[in-house]
Amino acid sequence: MASSNFIDYVKINVRSGAGGAGSMHFRREKHVDKGGPDGGDGGRGGHIILKGSAQLWTLLHLKYQKHIKAKPGRAGEGGRRTGAEGDDVIIEVPLGTVARHAETGERMAEITEDGQQIILLHGGRGGLGNDHYKSSTRQTPDYAQPGEPGQEAWVILELKLLADVGLVGFPNAGKSTLLSVVSAAKPEIADYPFTTLVPQLGVVAYRDYKSFVMADIPGIIEGASQGKGLGLRFLRHIERNSILLFVVPATSEDWAAEYETLLNELRQYNPELLDKERLLAISKIDLIDEIDYSTVIDRLPAGIPTVFISAIRQQGLVELKDLIWKALTRTEE
């Protein structure tokens, strides 16, 4: 899919339906004496509902649909007939979508499962008909309740991709090449920065028919948390990854410093990201002379499991998958 079709942020105006008015009606039938109030209730207005769909991966279908309105409920009728409910409007969204109130920033809903439904705005309740107001002292009530108005709000829908492993690294760290080798994903690969302009997902096959989902997040640069480079646009996708796999090229002058820079950008964006389990892959080892692993210990960040890989030569990939699977198993315990 073209990169321009990946939409992970939309702002829409939604309005639930108003409730129908209750009926003020009196029974009038031939040969029936002592007719009384028999006004029915109004119908409920339509809800605005978010529904998760595993078939969607972008909010493109909502980009040009700025106003979404549910239908009102019908008014009640005589004979204690309740008005019809307004039709609900179901908005299908990809898994990982968060809905926030545009003005207050309040989180209204979060969709994480296929088929999950959450009412974003409730339709107005239907009014009570005059049949509800009859009593021994008021036998002919000439009053019925109007329906409640619907609700209206500007809502921000924000997609945060769901993945088991998120690749974190500077542009040209080899993340796209790694994803293309270990999965069937086909991200753009070139020898210039920011070749990946949208997140890419790939399913990585593991032993005994097991698998996990890997996400290639567009390259972070120093200052991304302040809006530099691609800025905050794609950092939100890292929040949903169970494990963060930092990718640092072997050609980097200081592996530990590059790792700390990446870690600092995540810390400034959202300190909670540091609570996720982290792994480190030193990539592109095919571009340097043979590594004497006993001499590079001091260059590695302390306390993080590390593996040396070459996606081109498919070197170290089995060890990388084993490391990821062990980490995933730990996070699920």
pLDDT tens digits, 249-298: 988 888 888 899 888 888 888 888 888 899 999 998 888 777 766 667 77
Asked if 227 contacts 285 with a C-beta cutoff of 8 angstroms, the reply is: no
| pTM (two decimals) | 0.69
Task: Convert the pLDDT of each residue in 30-78 to its tens digit.
Answer: 776 667 888 999 999 999 999 999 888 788 889 888 899 999 999 999 8
pLDDT in tens, 76-85: 998 889 999 9
Q: What whole-number distance in Å separates Cα of residue 171 and Cα of residue 63?
A: 28
In Å, how far from its chain's centre is CA 33? 62
Known binding-site residue numbers: 169-176, 194-198, 216-219, 283-286, 310-312
Q: How confident is the model at residue 231 (pLDDT cuts 50, 70, 90)?
A: very low
pLDDT over 80 (residue 161): no
Binding residues for GTP are: 169-176, 194-198, 216-219, 283-286, 310-312
pLDDT given for residue 251 in this prediction: 86
β-strand partners of 243: 165, 277
pLDDT for res 195: 43
Tell me the binding residues for Mg(2+).
176, 196
As a whole number of angstroms, the distance between CA 144 and CA 237 comes to 51
Name the band, by pLDDT with cuts 50, 70 and 90, for residue 221: low
User: What order of strands is seen across the sheet that includes strand 163-168?
Assistant: 200-205, 211-216, 163-168, 241-249, 277-283, 306-308
Give 163-193 pLDDT, tens digit per residue. Answer: 889 888 888 788 888 888 888 766 444 443 4
- The CA angle 321-324-328, to the nearest 5 degrees, is 135
- Distance of CA 291 to CAs 230, 259, 286, 297, Å? 33, 19, 10, 11
Q: Is the pLDDT at 5 greater than 70, yes or no?
A: no
Q: Give the mean pLDDT of the chain.
A: 84
